[in-house]
């Protein structure tokens, strides 16, 4: 299951982690966000031991949304060592997202 990242736990869970982190910025009312939700959940299960995969609800965590200049959702960030390696705005297919994750795992 995808983790839930918030304004209060993001630093500890994502920025201080040595693992690659995939963060889905989303909102309940966003259709494309709901469309990619199953993909995020599947990848969270498949990469459970090697990659942090989680979601940030932009309505509840506006500080994070502002910090990362999230203007459209869904936006997916791939981070490692506290640095944003990649930013994808809009819906994405599972193979495309898997490919992005694999690139940064090496």
CA angle 29, 36, 2 (to 5 degrees): 95
Residue 81 dihedral angles phi and psi, to the nearest 5°: 60, 30
**Which residue among the candidates 30, 37, 85, 91 is catalytic per the annotation?**
30
Question: Per residue in 29-45, is it b (16+ CB within 10 Å) or e — as a string?
Answer: ebeebeebbebbeebbe
**Active site annotation includes 30:** yes
* Residue 80 is a catalytic residue: no
Catalytic residue among 2, 14, 22, 33: 33
Looking at the annotation, which residues are catalytic? Answer: 30, 33
């Amino acid at each position: 299951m995808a983790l839930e990242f918030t304004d209060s736990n993001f630093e500890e869970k994502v920025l201080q982690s040595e693992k690659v982190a995939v963060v889905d910025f989303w909102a309940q009312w966003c259709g494309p966000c709901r469309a990619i939700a199953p993909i995020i959940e599947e990848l969270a299960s498949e990469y459970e031991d090697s990659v942090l995969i989680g979601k940030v609800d932009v309505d509840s965590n506006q500080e994070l949304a502002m910090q990362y200049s999230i203007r459209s959702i869904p936006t997916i960030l791939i981070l490692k060592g506290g640095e944003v390696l990649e930013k994808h705005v809009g819906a994405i297919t599972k193979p495309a997202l898997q490919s992005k994750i694999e690139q940064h795992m090496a």
